[in-house]
Amino acid sequence: MDPWRTAIATSDATNIWVRGHAVTSLMREATFTDMIVLLHLGRLPSPGERRLLDAVLIGVADHGSGAPSCATARLAASGNRASISSAVAAGILAIGDDHGGAGSNCMELIAEGLGAAARDGLTPAAAAARTVDGAVAARRRLPGLGHRVHTTDPRVKVLFDMARAEGVAGDGIAFMEALEAEARTRIKPLPMNIDGALAAVLHDMGFPPPAGKFIFIIGRVAGLTAEVAEEYLREKPMRIKFDVQYDGVPPRRE
């Protein structure tokens, strides 16, 4: 275990550097979103990339207190009000493949689809068609398409329009748009969701697939902290959920 190696941050008695940049320079000249790109990609973003990542982070920050991550954070806060980090961490623990994690899976789909396309000289659209074929044959759901609440996710168009206006749109967006169109024809209308749009945009910025979850978590922490702060301010400790129906073996009377 010892010593550890890192290429992220180092410091001496009076300086801290991240990816080689003095933190003090970054504090003067960069935005937090720049810092996220620097930490993860080792370079600062272009202005267009910065705007796009800002939009992604805003888009996933909060969607209502009833989402698993927010509700988990509030319940943990309710039992353990003295520990802010416990409640935020509990909220993050609800993030996974079923909630907030589809972006990573979708980025893998994009990377695989476009990788195969590059080897075989296909367009992104042809690659997407092949991906839908595979999903239909294997009866597998396609990540990034479909939504429980929204018929049309309003955030998708905003992201893609912005990506085009800023010159960031690339094969990832082309692939996901073709995927949505193919799925509509071959399966049923499954409008792209924020995970799919986030995946396309992050792919086109050069992020690797795990970043789908990392970026979702970074954005959602802004919302989780606000939800926990509101729980402390507005609610009494110790929420108990009373509408639980017991349907197990009957209680033994003694």
**By CB under 8 A, what part of segment 198-227 binds its own copies?**
208, 210-211, 213-214, 217-219, 221-223, 225-227
Query: Considering only CA atoms, which of 54, 8, 7 is closest in space to residue 30?
Result: 54
Exposed e or buried b for every residue in 145-183, given b needs 16+ CB within 10 A? bbbeeeeebebbeebbebbeebebbbbbbbbbbbbbebb
**In this chain, which of 48, 96, 134, 206 binds its own copies, going by CB under 8 A?**
96
**Cβ-proximal residues to 224 (8 Å cutoff; 6+ apart), any chain:** 69, 70, 73, 87, 88, 91, 92
Asked if 44 interacts with its own copies (CB under 8 A), we say no
Q: Which residues between 164 and 203 bind its own copies (CB under 8 A)? A: none
| Residue 137 interacting with its own copies (CB under 8 A) | no
Contact in structure between 70 and 229 (CB atoms under 8 Å) = no
Angle of the 47-61 helix axis to the 194-205 helix axis, nearest 10: 160
* One of 44, 46, 48, 99 touching its own copies (CB under 8 A): 99
For the purposes of burial, counting CB atoms within 10 Å of the CB of 73, is it exposed (0-12), middle (13-18) or buried (19 or more)? buried
Between vectors from CA 114 to CA 112 and to CA 120, what angle results, nearest 5°? Answer: 105
Per CB under 8 A, 254 contacts its own copies? yes
Query: Would you say 12 or 121 has its CB closer to its own copies?
Result: 12
Which one of residues 119, 137, 154, 188 is an interface residue with its own copies (CB under 8 A)?
A: 154
Nearer to its own copies, 18 or 122 (CB): 18
Q: Give the C-alpha separation, 224 to 215, whole Å.
A: 14
Q: How far apart are CA 20 and CA 22, in angstroms?
A: 7
Instruction: Please say which residue, 128 or 163, places its beta carbon nearer to its own copies.
Output: 163
Segment near its own copies (CB under 8 A); pick from 29-37, 106-114, 119-127, 167-175: 29-37
* One of 44, 111, 126, 158 touching its own copies (CB under 8 A): 158
Sites for its own copies among residues 103-132 (CB under 8 A): 104
Dist CA 97 CA 90 (whole Å): 16
Q: Cβ 180 to its own copies, closest distance in Å?
A: 17
Q: Which stretch binds its own copies (CB under 8 A): 125-133, 182-190, 198-206, 229-237?
A: 229-237
Residue among 112 and 230 whose Cβ is closer to its own copies: 230
